[in-house]
């Protein structure tokens, strides 16, 4: 290691107090400034924060934004999720490749630019899109790519290439991004008029237990997807034994098709922080942590400034609103791992570990961050709390539908004329949403992102609520020209990449599901394959350790239920005993690569 790198490691570790819990910050900083975290740097970091080398190495190898291998000063990450592909991402990929003279996963010979794919950057409403370092580039075309590459070669600074700014706070001096909010519909909770901090003032005029009861009476359920009652979560945390309590905000929406939290973080950060503060008061916490996905790092400085503003107004820190209540919020950036949206994986990441989910029980409300009782709610849940306090639990409980009170923010994208963020009262039908978003001849809607449910026309009369079509917020529309199996294959490919690999059914099962769907897609399916897909999907669901594996077979299982005729149409009825899917060349490819020679089968 050269002296400069040694000094960087020393400076970085010292600035984070040589604290092993701040390992994410340390490795992110070193990666950013050094372009990689090689073996000797891993050794040095491990020694400085007093952990075994393997702990640092396991973090570096886990997150897609970190690398032991040297990357370019500029890293282009082109989003390749299904919606970006529907909007021409493959053509964009070819143009980047051609203009740079390199393939994906490669760096230009001068070491300047690395080109990569990434599965979701939260921009499905303005796809195709790419992250270049931390800058977001949206609505890409081949011409724009040529301009960007020429600009990068000339300036070596992606910031200088952001010529037009988006709306609202996207144009704020600390954001300066070309992203648009695309807020298409506003309703009574999230985007309602609200006088800042009235919810907090009302909460602090009540006892903590009264605040929790108010949230329970409102029947507010977590907006992240699982829908656990927020008030109960708060009650459990308050009641749990612990020297400290924590409030954690999950700002790691990473499901392809989801982008609504991006808009809340951009336009309503003060409400998120206020909601977290109310939660802190209710459960007896003095610390709040917001886990911001690495893809939204372009909002980091802006969010920090909003926190600073609250501190200067006495709304964070000691003796908030003159009362004996102290609360602080810290932002933790992620580094590109979808699984960290799962609450226990998110806690692992906050603790400076790989984003591995933890066994449950114990649940985070009893044993969360650093073992302290912690509530984990998502961005939208904290914003919703304000209206519960301001307008009252009864008012809130009356909104929406039975069992699902309030409103839901939806990220709507795909084959529609008006992709964007829509706020609806719970109970709205898919039909209404399709009409208002300008859906173009829809044949399928994926409710709740890839791990959700794929529904067909017959189910479009169904309503969005926890008891029927539950969703964390993503609705992706597919028109009649789309091949459903291609969509399912893309989703399974995503899950193969994103499984943390801890348990075999999830690690191996998704590869099998993807490959069998691929086999059918190519017209090589056999009659028994459909039963096998169903059996395998169910087995993965019951045998997986965390919510990821318990839901990720859904694209296959729900599309089999709703679009069985599409699968059946591709199945061949065979009269011989041959196995049409077996490809000897493909089967031998890995062995040939490892042995670094061709099989004699080919040479003969």
The yes or no reply on residue 506 touching ligand SF4 (CB under 6 A) is yes
Task: Report the 10 Å Cβ neighbour count for 508.
Answer: 15
The yes or no reply on residue 544 touching ligand SF4 (CB under 6 A) is yes
- Among positions 507, 526, 580, 588, the unique one binding ligand SF4 when judged by CB under 6 A: 507
Q: Which stretch binds ligand SF4 (CB under 6 A): 3-11, 162-170, 247-255, 538-546?
A: 538-546
Q: Is 27 left (phi over 0), alpha (psi -120 to 50) or beta?
A: alpha
Q: Which CB, 459 or 551, lies closer to ligand SF4?
A: 551
Long-range contacts for 29-34 (Cβ within 8 Å, ≥24 apart)? 31/65, 31/66, 31/67, 31/335, 33/8, 34/5, 34/8
Q: Which stretch binds ligand SF4 (CB under 6 A): 109-117, 421-429, 455-463, 543-551?
A: 543-551
Q: Which of residues 412-451 bind ligand SF4 (CB under 6 A)?
A: none
Phi and psi, residue 290, nearest 5°: -115, 120
The yes or no reply on residue 501 touching ligand SF4 (CB under 6 A) is yes
**Any idea what DSSP says for residue 175?**
T
Q: Which stretch binds ligand SF4 (CB under 6 A): 114-122, 216-224, 318-326, 497-505?
A: 497-505
Residue 504 to residues 227, 513, 543, Cα–Cα distance (Å) = 28, 13, 9
Rg of the chain over Cα atoms, rounded to whole angstroms, equals 24
- Among positions 152, 546, 557, 566, the unique one binding ligand SF4 when judged by CB under 6 A: 546
Residue 388 to residues 284, 327, 392, 394, 536, Cα–Cα distance (Å) = 19, 21, 5, 8, 43
Nearest distance from C-beta of residue 237 to ligand SF4, angstroms: 23
The yes or no reply on residue 545 touching ligand SF4 (CB under 6 A) is yes
Task: Report the 10 Å Cβ neighbour count for 208.
Answer: 18
- Alpha-carbon distance of 257 to 145, in angstroms, equals 23
Question: b/e per residue, 87-122, with b = 16+ CB within 10 A?
Answer: bebeebbebbbebbebeeeebbeeeebbbbbbbbbb
Q: Which CB, 21 or 502, lies closer to ligand SF4?
A: 502
Q: Which CB, 125 or 356, lies closer to ligand SF4?
A: 356
Q: Which stretch binds ligand SF4 (CB under 6 A): 163-171, 192-200, 405-413, 494-502?
A: 494-502
Name the nearest CA neighbour of 382 among 228, 230, 225, 253.
230
Helix (H) or strand (E) holding 533: helix 529-543
Q: Which CB, 501 or 523, lies closer to ligand SF4?
A: 501
Q: Tokens 């600073």 map to which residue?
A: 308
For residues 82 and 487, is the Cβ–Cβ distance under 8 A? Answer: yes
Nearest distance from C-beta of residue 551 to ligand SF4, angstroms: 9
DSSP-derived 3-state class of residue 459 = helix
Q: Tokens 């999907």 map to which residue?
A: 537
Q: Which CB, 62 or 96, lies closer to ligand SF4?
A: 62
The yes or no reply on residue 520 touching ligand SF4 (CB under 6 A) is no
- Alpha-carbon distance of 543 to 551, in angstroms, equals 11
Q: Which residue is nearest to ligand SF4 (CB)?
A: 549
Q: Which stretch binds ligand SF4 (CB under 6 A): 104-112, 368-376, 405-413, 498-506?
A: 498-506
For residues 477 and 438, is the Cβ–Cβ distance under 8 A? Answer: no
Nearest distance from C-beta of residue 226 to ligand SF4, angstroms: 14
Tokens matching residue 268: 């309503």
Q: Which CB, 62 or 273, lies closer to ligand SF4?
A: 62
**Any idea what DSSP says for residue 416?**
B
Mark residues 322-361: x for contact with ligand SF4 by CB under 6 A, - for none: -----------------x-----------------x----
The yes or no reply on residue 548 touching ligand SF4 (CB under 6 A) is yes
The yes or no reply on residue 158 touching ligand SF4 (CB under 6 A) is no
The yes or no reply on residue 503 touching ligand SF4 (CB under 6 A) is yes
How many chain residues bind ligand SF4 (CB under 6 A)?
14
The yes or no reply on residue 226 touching ligand SF4 (CB under 6 A) is no
Q: Which CB, 506 or 536, lies closer to ligand SF4?
A: 506
The yes or no reply on residue 502 touching ligand SF4 (CB under 6 A) is yes
Q: Which stretch binds ligand SF4 (CB under 6 A): 200-208, 545-553, 566-574, 579-587?
A: 545-553
Residue 387 to residues 185, 203, 225, 278, Cα–Cα distance (Å) = 18, 11, 20, 12
- Among positions 292, 299, 416, 500, the unique one binding ligand SF4 when judged by CB under 6 A: 500
Q: Which stretch binds ligand SF4 (CB under 6 A): 216-224, 347-355, 458-466, 539-547?
A: 539-547
Q: Which CB, 294 or 547, lies closer to ligand SF4?
A: 547
Which residues contribute to the site for ligand SF4 (CB under 6 A)? 339, 357, 499-503, 506-507, 544-546, 548-549
């Amino acid at each position: 290691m050269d002296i400069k790198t040694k000094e960087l490691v020393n400076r970085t570790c010292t600035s984070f107090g040589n604290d092993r819990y701040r390992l994410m910050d340390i490795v992110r900083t070193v990666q950013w400034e050094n372009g990689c975290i090689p073996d000797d740097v891993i050794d040095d970091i491990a020694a400085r924060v007093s952990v075994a080398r393997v702990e640092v190495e396991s973090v570096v190898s886990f997150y897609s934004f970190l690398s032991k291998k040297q990357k370019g000063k500029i890293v282009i990450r082109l989003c390749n999720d299904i919606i970006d592909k529907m909007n021409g991402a493959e053509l964009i990929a070819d143009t980047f490749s051609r203009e740079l003279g390199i393939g994906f996963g490669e760096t230009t010979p001068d070491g300047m630019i690395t080109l990569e794919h990434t599965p979701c950057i939260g921009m499905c409403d303005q796809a195709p899109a790419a992250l270049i370092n931390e800058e977001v580039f949206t609505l890409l075309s081949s011409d724009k790519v040529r301009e960007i590459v020429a600009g990068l070669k000339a300036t070596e600074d992606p910031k200088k290439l952001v010529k037009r700014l988006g709306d609202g706070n996207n144009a704020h001096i600390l954001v300066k991004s070309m992203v648009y909010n695309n807020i298409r519909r506003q309703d009574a909770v999230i985007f309602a008029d609200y006088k800042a901090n009235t919810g907090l003032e009302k909460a602090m005029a009540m006892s903590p237990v009264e605040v929790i009861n108010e949230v329970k009476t409102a029947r507010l359920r977590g907006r992240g997807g699982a829908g656990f009652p927020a008030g109960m979560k708060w009650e459990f945390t308050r009641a749990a034994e612990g020297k400290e309590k924590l409030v954690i905000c999950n700002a790691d929406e990473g499901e392809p098709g989801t982008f609504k939290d991006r808009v809340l973080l951009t336009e309503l950060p003060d409400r998120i922080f206020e909601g977290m503060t109310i939660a802190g008061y209710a459960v007896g916490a003095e610390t709040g942590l917001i886990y911001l996905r690495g893809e939204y790092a372009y909002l980091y400085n802006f969010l920090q400034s909003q926190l600073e503003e609250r501190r200067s107004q006495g709304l964070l820190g000691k003796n908030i609103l003159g009362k004996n209540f102290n609360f602080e919020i810290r932002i933790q950036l992620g580094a590109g791992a979808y699984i960290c949206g799962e609450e226990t994986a998110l806690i692992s990441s906050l603790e400076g570990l790989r984003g591995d989910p933890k066994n449950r029980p114990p649940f985070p409300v009893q044993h969360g961050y650093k073992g302290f009782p912690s509530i984990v709610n998502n961005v939208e849940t904290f914003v919703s709390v304000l209206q519960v306090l301001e307008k009252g639990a009864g008012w809130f409980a009356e909104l929406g539908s039975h069992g699902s009170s309030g409103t839901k923010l939806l990220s709507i994208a795909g084959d529609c004329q008006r992709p964007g963020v829509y706020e609806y009262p719970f109970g709205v039908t898919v039909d209404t949403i399709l009409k208002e978003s300008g859906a173009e001849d829809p044949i399928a809607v994926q409710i709740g992102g890839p791990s959700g449910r794929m529904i067909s026309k017959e189910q479009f009369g169904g309503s969005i609520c926890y008891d029927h079509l539950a969703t964390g917020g993503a609705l992706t529309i597919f028109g009649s020209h789309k091949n459903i199996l291609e969509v399912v294959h893309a989703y399974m490919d995503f899950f193969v990449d994103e499984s943390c690999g801890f348990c075999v059914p999830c690690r191996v099962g998704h590869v099998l599901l993807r490959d069998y769907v691929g086999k059918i897609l190519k017209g090589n399916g056999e009659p028994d394959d459909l039963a096998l897909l169903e059996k395998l999907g169910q087995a993965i669901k019951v045998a997986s350790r965390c919510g990821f594996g318990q839901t990720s077979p859904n694209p296959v299982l729900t599309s089999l239920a709703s679009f069985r005729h599409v699968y059946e149409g591709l199945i061949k009825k065979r009269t011989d005993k041959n196995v049409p899917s077996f490809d000897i060349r493909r089967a031998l490819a890995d062995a040939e690569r490892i042995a670094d020679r061709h099989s004699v089968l080919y040479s003969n």
